[in-house]
Amino acid sequence: MASSILEALDIIATQITPVGKELIPIELALGRISTQEYIASFDLPRFDNSAMDGYAVKVADAQSQVSCTEVIFAGDNPTMTLQEHTAIKIMTGAPIPKGCEAIVPIEQVSLKGRDISLPKDIKLHGFIRIAGEDIKKGSVFLRKGSRINAYTIASLASQGVSHIAVYRQIKVAVFATGDELRPHYESIEPHQLYNSNSPMFMARSKELGADVRLIQTSADSIEALQSCIHTVLDADIIITSGGVSVGDKDFTKEAFTNLGMEVLIDKIDIKPGRPTIIGKIAHTIVINLAGNPLASMINYELFVRAVLRKMSGIHSYHHGVIETKMAEDFCVRGGKHAVVLGSFDGQAFRALASQMPGMVSPMDKAEGMVLITPETSILKKGTGGQNVAYIMGTTKRRIRSVI
């Protein structure tokens, strides 16, 4: 019996576990997922300091003249104490001297020799960066399951962290089945096709942070398939396309089952891509997708990406859904759970005019997708509806079903 879309996603959420961990330099951690919380060992900033090039002053000296004979630079360790009717010149980032109540930027004063005319409005603690206002000692500044980006690395470096514990990179193996398929770098006969699925899965998996290897297309026989499978059982995920329907040469499921695959999902109630299978052999997750390019990539975005995100250890692995409206009427056949690809201009969703399961070009034009329940037969302009879920993206020319 086919699983519903939500049932399939629930199975992925409960049956898939993160990969192992490793400790790596923070400079190599971009895009990886933290395996633990990181707690600040000291305040940031570590001391009160000046936010501007200016003068350290007393608030009571506003709208008066003060004298200045000293200067503090960033990196200095000032020992003086600021007295009334005086000012101390100070540079951005320099420690605040004792007795300082505010910083007046250089642009707000008038100079006459050593005498400085201060403005009439000086706020207490103005232009002073207080110790710990950015990160407090003892606070959690990086949570478990967070994706590391350039700014995360800045926070780690600011705390003197040189290495970080992350989930290791997921290993993905990709191959297709089909006697009619040939790699794109070879010449083909009129009755043959280029294999576009495998390079597509490889590129998309790399884009999502996986370490991917591409295996030569397998012939349509049990023996050839099992031989191919044996070479990739060390992978965390095996992704195949083709051979999962009911044709005379559709042996993919049988070949994996012969090698001990436990089937977790056997078909999904979705159009296109119903013959999608997800299982596991020991610790290796097996994902058999349909051979039609558009059908396989839609199911990649809905389900394979869910597997990758759950396996990566990220805490926010579910789909992100945006509620929007239709730019124009779009009719659907109804009676099935279906997916419609389209573009999104920030205001409304516009379905692609042509998007058949065997097509390639719609994938490069789509910016998001709409999931439709069987009760829906038309998406009316200006409306969405309770039977429609919009899984949208924000990056131009890329399907971004965020899981």
Terminal alpha carbon distance of the chain: 25
Instruction: Give yes or no: residues 245 and 305 share one domain.
Output: yes
Whether omega before 374 lies within 30 degrees of 0, making that bond cis, reads no
Residues 273-287 have a mean pLDDT of 94
Query: Residue 253 above 90 pLDDT?
Result: no
Number of domains in the chain: 4
pLDDT at 360 over 90: no
Q: Does a structural domain hold residue 398?
A: no
Whether 314 contacts 145, CB under 8 Å: yes
Domain assignment present for residue 320? The answer is no
Among 80, 106, 129, where does a domain finish? 129
Considering the domain boundaries, does residue 221 fall inside one? yes
Same domain, 358 and 294: no
| Nearest Cα to Cα of residue 168 among 383, 9, 23 | 23
The span from the CA of 60 to the CA of 124, in Å, is 10
- Assess whether 91 and 29 both reside in one domain: no
Return the number of other C-beta atoms located less than 10 Å from residue 383's C-beta: 11
**Which one of 78, 103, 129 terminates a domain?**
129
Same domain assignment for residues 78 and 147:
no
The range of the structural domain enclosing residue 108 comes to: 49-129
Same domain, 200 and 176: yes
Q: Are residues 177 and 107 in the same domain?
A: no
The string of pLDDT tens digits covering residues 199-217 is 899 999 999 999 999 887 6
Query: Same domain, yes or no, for 173 and 308?
Result: yes
Is residue 332 within 8 Å of 355, Cβ to Cβ? no
Is the confidence at residue 177, as pLDDT, over 50?
Answer: yes
| Whether 147 and 15 share a structural domain | no
Mean pLDDT of 241-261: 76
- What's the confidence (pLDDT) of residue 389? 54
In a domain, 399, yes or no: no
Q: Which residue has the higher pLDDT, 282 or 190?
A: 282
Q: Over the stretch 87-127, which tens digit does the pLDDT of each residue have?
A: 999 999 999 999 999 999 999 999 988 899 999 999 999 99
